[in-house]
Amino acid sequence: MDYPKINVLDTIKDAFQLGMKNVLSLILLVILYVITVWIPYLNVGTTIGLYKAVMAMSRGEVVDPVSIFDQSNFKNFGNIFLLMGFQSVGVGAAAIFVFIPALVLSIAWRFGMYLMLDKGTSPLKSLTLSYDVTLGEKWRIFFIGLLTGLLIGVVAGIFSLIPKVGVVFAILVAVAGAAYAVAVEALMYRHFAEKADAMKEAGEA
């Protein structure tokens, strides 16, 4: 069965609208995450909370930045590390065949964590499902990521040229850009979560 493909330019454009809906929450979320990502153990919970925030945005919900500290984020602690371990081993093995296979596999498994947290599937099933839903769309995911990075980089670069205060503005743009990247990720996950549901209904997943 053929499924609609994710639209690269529409995703980049629509992320602005989604990002503006959550702009203050997203900026605070990014700041809180950057502050806590260096703290052992706590950073596990905040990382899972960041994934959950992306999932909430994909459903059209307003993000609660403090939710990254929710105790429930540690509920899937073991499965999280199992999935990350499988990813590391798989991508590492693919890297033996030079860069391209590892890149392709990392894109194919990109939504495994979201699917496990969202759909309650096992680590291996989540990676398999992510591979299935991204089939035929990996180049689109790659270009969405590339364009997002270039857009943020160019804007930050332009602001950095402002005399005296350029560095400050560039940092602010980088923070806002990180929030925008979260919105882009949410839109991508919305597409692939809907595709996963459709494949399940069709008996293909």
Instruction: State the pLDDT confidence band at 193, using cuts at 50, 70 and 90.
Output: very high
Locate 160 and state its tokens.
């950095």
The tens digit of pLDDT for each residue in 137-176 reads: 999 999 999 999 999 989 888 888 887 777 888 888 888 8
Instruction: Kindly give the residue spans of alpha helices, DSSP state H, lying in 59-165.
Output: 77-95, 99-108, 112-119, 123-133, 138-160
Alpha-carbon distance of 162 to 184, in angstroms, equals 28
Per DSSP, the chain holds a count of helices (H) and strands (E) of: 9, 0
Percent of the chain with pLDDT over 90: 59
For residue 73, pLDDT beyond 80: yes
Instruction: Annotate 43-75 with b (16+ C-beta within 10 A) or e (fewer).
Output: eebbbbbbbbbbbbbbeeeebbbebbeeeebee
Query: What is the pLDDT, as a whole number, of residue 75?
Result: 83
pTM for the full predicted model = 0.92
